[in-house]
Structure 1
Amino acid sequence: MNAKVFILLGLVAVVAADKLASFESGEAKYDFNWAVKHDDSDNDFGHQEARNEDDTQGSYYVQLPDGRLQTVRYVVDGDNGYVAEVNYDGEARYPDSNESK
């Protein structure tokens, strides 16, 4: 009898936790962005994201050491998960080995 009660209580807890998790993920709504641009060190990067219930979209970018700007745009959906599109602007530049001497 005790085993049946424990199994029943465990099942109820699992169902309740699943419903709570579904409710919490469906109610999310936010929008943020931030950026850093420091010309002296050539640091240039940032991120923005917006979510309304299950619809999440965003992008982030970073100035790469080779001079290109890498931008990632993404969406998140329940069926496909995280789907990203990566782009590079500019042309990679590498200093000549004699320039560093």
Structure 2
Amino acid sequence: MTTKVIVLTVLVAAALARPEPPPTYGPPAPAYKPPAHPRPAYGAPAYPDTPPQYNSQYAVRDDYSGNDFGHDESRNGYNTKGSYYVQLPDGRLQKVTYYVNGDSGYVAEVSYQGEAQYPAYQPAPAYQPAPAYKPAPAYKPAPAYP
């Protein structure tokens, strides 16, 4: 019986002395497996393939600063036409009229209205410095009487 106890003790000791593999760390296995091709919860919007069609225009006129410019354009499918204008500093009005028909590209015609005006040079008035600073008179206390 002592032999059996010794063998059993040796086996238990060997089993306890066996090296354990190191623990592995990482994310836990997901409990939920997503579908291979998820579908949106809503129906995808359908955008019809329609050719663009619009009209737009704007104009700015400011007499104080002299700004005067504007633009108008209309488009129907691949055909576009429009114009824009700007008041130039020399007094003329520059106007550009353009069109695009399909793949023809941008075709523009530039015209000017008015005569360029270049007024004679007027030098700025000569610099006149401000009068020099003069400090206020020093304080003189009034006499004190007993």
2:63 to 39, 45, 48: 39
Task: Provide the C-alpha distance between the structure 1 equivalents of 2:60 and 2:123, rounded to a whole number of angstroms.
Answer: 27
Rg comparison, structure with higher value: 2
Question: 1:94 deviation in Å?
Answer: 1.2
Query: Number of residue pairs matched?
Result: 78
Equivalent residue, structure 2, for 1:52: 76
After TM superposition, the score normalised by the length of structure 1 is: 0.70
- The 1:30–1:100 alpha-carbon spacing in structure 2 relative to 1, beyond 3 Å, is farther
- The 1:100–1:85 alpha-carbon spacing in structure 2 relative to 1, beyond 3 Å, is farther
Higher helix share: 1
Higher strand share: 1
Equivalent residue, structure 2, for 1:3: none
Question: 1:80 deviation in Å?
Answer: 2.2
Question: 1:100 deviation in Å?
Answer: 4.5
Identity %: 57
Q: Secondary structure at the match of 1:30?
A: strand
Is 1:65 aligned to residue 89 of structure 2?
yes
Q: Which has the higher contact order (CA 8 A, sep 6+)?
A: 1
Q: Secondary structure at the match of 1:41?
A: coil
Question: 1:96 deviation in Å?
Answer: 1.1
Q: What root-mean-square deviation, in Å, do the aligned CA atoms of Structure 1 and Structure 2 show?
A: 1.9
- The 1:95–1:54 alpha-carbon spacing in structure 2 relative to 1, beyond 3 Å, is same
